[in-house]
Amino acid sequence: MTLQDKSKKTMTLLDKELPVARNLFALFTAAILTGFATYLLPGHDSWHQWTYLVHSLVGVVLALIALPYTFSHVKRTVGVRKPMVILVGSLSLLSLFGLIGTGIYIIIFGQLEALAWIFQSHIVLGVVIILMVLIHIILYMSSLNKQRRGKKSTKFPTLTLSLFRNTLIVNVVILLIITGASIGYNAIPLSYQDKTMIEPYELSYGEHPFRPSQTETSVEGHFVDARRIAGSDDCGSCHEAITRQWMASMHRQAANDQSYVSNVSLLSEKKGITTTRYCEGCHAPVALLTGQLTPGGQHGGVSGTLANAEGISCMACHGIHKIAHLKGVASYEFTPKNDYLFADREGLIFKKIRNFLIRIHPQQHKLDLAPPILSDSSMCATCHAQFMDKDVNKWGWVKMQDEYSAWLASPYSGQSDQTFSHENVKRCQDCHFPLITANDPSANKDGQVRSHFSLGSNTAIPWYTGDEAQLKRTREFLQANKININIELPTRLDATQTDLLIRNEITQYAETPSYFYLGETAKIRMTVTNNQVGHDFPGGTIDINEAWLHFRVTDTQNKVIFESGAMESDATVDAKAHFYRAIAIDRHGNEVWKHDLFNMIGERNRNVIKARGTDIVDYQFKIPGWAKGPLSMTAVLRYRKFNMKYAKWALKQETLDLPIVDVAKDTINIPLRNKRPIE
């Protein structure tokens, strides 16, 4: 082929390439401008969000035409003897495909927390390709000048006037589309109705609409539209693994738990629905914040309501940005998240657009739903601390459960007397929301997220609902060596010893031997240590829960010599057992056994073990002459969510087989001897 023929072929290929190059350059410029405009000037208004959408669309179209352009360009330039031009051009194409590849990945999978480098690479490649293209053009122009022996040339094959004109037109059109879409979207008012759902709304406890709950909101007028706090199933469209965990949790079932339904219904019956605000700020914030808790409305314990289904919704926790105070009773401030496009619109298309925007640009989403307070133990104080005032109990201020103060006083907080200003703090979240492996977009670089099973000591709900997996998790949580029991070997001052001289180096034991004589009164001491619970044990509703010691002594024929804490025939616990609990009392000193806290003014027989504290328990019993040694002594710390009296009333069942968890156990064997008569 002659040089003239090659030239004609090259010009033919160039003619075919020019239209593709015009479109590629225009779209590439649009992608760069829309990308860096939002990156360098971040924001969350509608203009920015429409720009994200247009940027993604431009990126997809750019990807579709980049391949044919690459094929055409390489075919046209193959054999060109300009090594540096070819090298930089090749690097430019590689950068372009890297830019497109990372962009397509983000469009499909979003910005994953564990793969944050992909987004950063996308930004870096955008800068790199600009530099590479400029260098490629400069090198090409320089090579032309050398070929023409110093004669200046400005001709670059694809840099034509039509290319620049086309690029300008495309980018102006895109700008007009984004601006027009933003103006049009902003012209349509949001459909949120941040007002009470039930009117008139009764103010029974002063001017504040949520009292006696201590809840605040950042919304003018206090009330929020249900869509701002509910809709947890929508979160599951992206956070599927975490949502499944939450579905099994006590948080999700905080309002539809039958025991809560019984108690909130009793409160509503005795004190009126406005008083249920006291409970609902923690158990059913959807009902409280939407203004349902007034005559004519429904509290969260009512089956079929949104509040009953949501319980403590995703937004109920993730929408907390401030703490009102640390005394509890829902003492948080709720702040609605900044919406993405069409957040207030129903419909599959709107939902797809909204979720797509969250995936490709989750920065605002993370800023709103992962505020710093979320990882602070003080957040837990808002609901896991409690008091009641005179306006409800008609008596006076009464302090109730308070796991936060117990944690503060513990060595784990770094703020107690023992560990003041200590750096090694163990938060509530570290035990109850530990890191676990999960396939979730919010997973860290190790593929872990905070568990949302919210494990604690509630074995009743998963048993009642038949959730065997959650019950198993709760058992394992309770049995994770958090509490230790140790039966001390008895020591005797009258222990018999030999008169024979034994060398010290062959003596195996220094302590005196442990044994009992038949017919004597045995004294046994055991210690129960709160080894790893970050607050008092037990915690929570200790007036209706049961934790007790089951101590059993048998001889070698398994005949029972002594027993304390055994189960009675009606599934109640031996009344003389050593319990860890408190008995709530009313103003007359009677037990408040239904957990009707509005009648409670104090408590008696409170017995808990402080964090890293130890309880010393003594038993004594007479050893019968028929016993055959050795004696086997077993001590078990047992736990049951709900005592039977309360459970039968709250769960509306006469026959119950509530699960009992053996939290800790110890066993020792003690020899028996016949005491020789004194001669």
Domain 480-494+508-673 bears CATH identifier 2.60.40.10 = yes
Q: Which residues pair with 474 in a beta bridge?
A: none
* pLDDT above 70: residue 90: yes
pLDDT, mean of residues 319-337: 96
Neighbours of 2 (CB within 10 A): 7
* pLDDT above 70: residue 1: no
386-442 per-position pLDDT tens digit: 999 999 999 999 999 999 999 999 999 988 776 655 667 899 999 999 999 999 999
Q: Output the 3-class SS for 248-274.
A: HCCCCCCCCCHHHHHHHHHHHHHHCHH
* pLDDT above 90: residue 522: yes
**Whole-number Å distance between alpha carbons of 633 and 563:** 10
Q: Which residues pair with 635 in a beta bridge?
A: 551, 666
Tokens of 322: 């401030």
Mean pLDDT of the chain, nearest integer? 90
pLDDT band at 23 (very low <50, low <70, confident <90, very high): confident
**Whole-number Å distance between alpha carbons of 91 and 87:** 6
* pLDDT above 70: residue 44: yes
Task: State whether residue 385 is helix, strand or coil.
Answer: strand
pLDDT band at 229 (very low <50, low <70, confident <90, very high): very high
**Whole-number Å distance between alpha carbons of 204 and 211:** 8
Answer left, alpha or beta for residue 149, where phi above 0 means left and psi between -120 and 50 means alpha: left
Q: Which residues pair with 567 in a beta bridge?
A: 573
Q: Which residues pair with 560 in a beta bridge?
A: 554
Pair 649, 468: CB distance under 8 Å = no
487-509 per-position pLDDT tens digit: 999 887 766 555 555 555 655 55
Architecture label for domain 3-187? Up-down Bundle (1.20)
Q: Which residues pair with 429 in a beta bridge?
A: none
Which is it for the CA torsion 572, 573, 576, 582, positive or negative?
negative
Which is it for the CA torsion 255, 257, 259, 261, positive or negative?
positive
Q: What percent of the chain has pLDDT over 90?
A: 76
**Whole-number Å distance between alpha carbons of 598 and 205:** 15
